[in-house]
Amino acid sequence: MMVPLAVLGFISLSAQADELDTLQFKAGISAQHDSNVFRLSDTANAQSVIGTPSRSDTAAITTVGVLLNKPYSLQRFELDIHADDYRYQRFSSLNFTALSYVAAWRWSLTPALHGNLTTNQREFVDNSSDLQNRGEVNRRTERASLFDAEYEVDGAFRVLGGFFDNTLRNSQPLTFDGDSSVKGAEVGVRYVFPSSASLAYRFKKGSGDYPDRVASSFFASSFKDTEHEVRLDWPITGKTALQARVSHFNRAHEDLAARDFSGMTGELNATWEATGKTRVTFGLSRELGSYQTGDASYYQGYQFFIAPTWKPTEKTAVRLRYDHGVRDYKGPLPGFAATNRQDTLDLASLAFEWQLIRAVKMTVSVQQDKRKSTEAGLDYKNNGVNLGVEASF
């Protein structure tokens, strides 16, 4: 199966449509080539780490899926489910099947009382995670469920509330961020302006645990999350829109206070329809997350991206994206010296799309992702190529 794909230049087939009908099916096959599958540093001895001097490989990916979008009276039901089967040419131990889905019930009891019941799962290869055992790949599964409600008190003010359940699982047992599970509730208010812009405040409280960890002087087993969030959605003009979020997040570990961390997080995203053929999306975010080693308990940093799209014709598009981020690692345990580790991450991609017919699209893309770190052995660089045909019916 891999030989003809390689000869054809990694032609891929997956599914997509111009318009979402009530029910759609998708199926396809794709191929993806990476020059550094395990994201090894240039200083690493590939032969001793992965058993071969070659770091590259090509994966054939078979995709099948179903999409549903069905309104019924005041309700709307949505489903997007697909399975991606990965088969590697050289490193067959990496073969796996990923199941991802998004299911939603956009419910409404009255026009003034409405909300969402949603659940989603995403399985993917997490190339950015650090593993204690080098020369392995981590497959991550993220699940999130939410039930929320919004009641329109009058024409502008709304009352918000909801419950959430989020889990994170890793295929590798020795990851520095670790598996986690969080359940909690949120309450808030939202104000909608005559221009359709809105400003909302939410208070979130969660209770979580690290299911694979036993409380000790090194690891915490449970935690409490508290977050105050303000969100702005602003359609500035017909061609420009802005979304902004700022919050203060606090995680307190009940059995190991040295792992506690808190700080500001947020994001700013904007879309600009520059011309009828050109669109630019850009964003800036402040991140904060768990990362548990002896010399660090969390990381903080920022990310920036810009993604212009140019459509020279109705059937073609050129997409460019560049991401840049910096992470600093903080919070050493007692008895450990603070780390000075700082990572700089860059990702650049260029894609060309051609709509052959209404439901069939070809894609050719190249990308490069790299990390520079002040800690020895954590640098890496990877070049990727993907050629594809996408279809739906």
Tally: H helices and E strands in the chain = 2, 19
Does the residue 212 lie in any domain?
yes
Query: Taking a C-beta distance cutoff of 8 angstroms, is the pair 68, 41 a contact?
Result: no
pLDDT level of residue 360 (50, 70, 90 thresholds): confident
H/E element, 3: helix 2-7
DSSP, residue by residue, 251-290: EEETT-GGG-EEEEEEEEEEEEE-SSSEEEEEEEEEEEEE
| DSSP, res 339 | P
pLDDT of residue 16: 38
Does the residue 44 lie in any domain?
no
pLDDT of residue 13: 33
The whole domain housing 365 covers 67-80+100-382
pLDDT tens across 138-179, in order?
889 999 999 999 999 988 999 999 999 999 998 887 777 889
Query: Taking a C-beta distance cutoff of 8 angstroms, is the pair 100, 137 a contact?
Result: no
Dihedral sign for Cα 212, 176, 87, 17, please. Answer: positive
pLDDT tens across 260-272, in order?
999 999 999 999 9
| DSSP, res 338 | P
| DSSP, res 131 | B
Count up the domains in the chain and report the number.
1
SS3 179: coil
pLDDT level of residue 4 (50, 70, 90 thresholds): very low
Does the residue 9 lie in any domain?
no
Q: Which residues of 71-90 are buried (b: 16+ CB within 10 A; e: fewer)?
A: eeeeeeebbbbbebbbbbbb
SS3 112: coil
Q: Which two tokens stand for residue 315?
A: 């059937």
Residue 350 has pLDDT above 90, yes or no: yes
Residue 345 has pLDDT above 80, yes or no: yes
Tell me the CA end-to-end span of the chain in Å, nearest whole number: 24
Does the residue 281 lie in any domain?
yes
- pTM equals 0.86
Half-sphere exposure of 80 (CA within 13 A, CB side): 11
Strand partners, 136: none
d(CA 253, CA 257): 5
Does the residue 229 lie in any domain?
yes
pLDDT > 90: what percent of the chain? 72
d(CA 318, CA 340): 40
pLDDT of residue 9: 33
pLDDT tens across 196-225, in order?
999 999 999 999 999 878 889 998 999 999
Strand partners, 193: none
pLDDT of residue 21: 56
> Between residues 275 and 11, which one has the greater pLDDT?
275
SS3 91: coil
d(CA 172, CA 302): 26
d(CA 285, CA 294): 27
Residue 128 has pLDDT above 90, yes or no: no
Residue 245 has pLDDT above 90, yes or no: yes
pLDDT tens across 66-120, in order?
999 999 989 999 999 999 999 999 999 899 999 999 999 999 999 999 999 999 9
Residue 296 has pLDDT above 60, yes or no: yes
Q: Which two tokens stand for residue 78?
A: 């949505």
Does the residue 278 lie in any domain?
yes
CA Rg value for the chain? 23
pLDDT > 70: what percent of the chain? 93
Does the residue 387 lie in any domain?
no
Query: Taking a C-beta distance cutoff of 8 angstroms, is the pair 320, 345 a contact?
Result: no
CATH number at residue 293: 2.40.160
pLDDT of residue 7: 31
Residue 133 has pLDDT above 70, yes or no: no
Number of residues that this document lists for the chain: 393
Biggest alpha carbon–alpha carbon distance for the chain: 68
Residue 8 has pLDDT above 50, yes or no: no
Residue 292 has pLDDT above 50, yes or no: yes
Give the pairing type, strands 157-170 and 380-391: unpaired
Does the residue 182 lie in any domain?
yes
pLDDT of residue 155: 80
Mean pLDDT of the chain: 90
d(CA 294, CA 256): 13
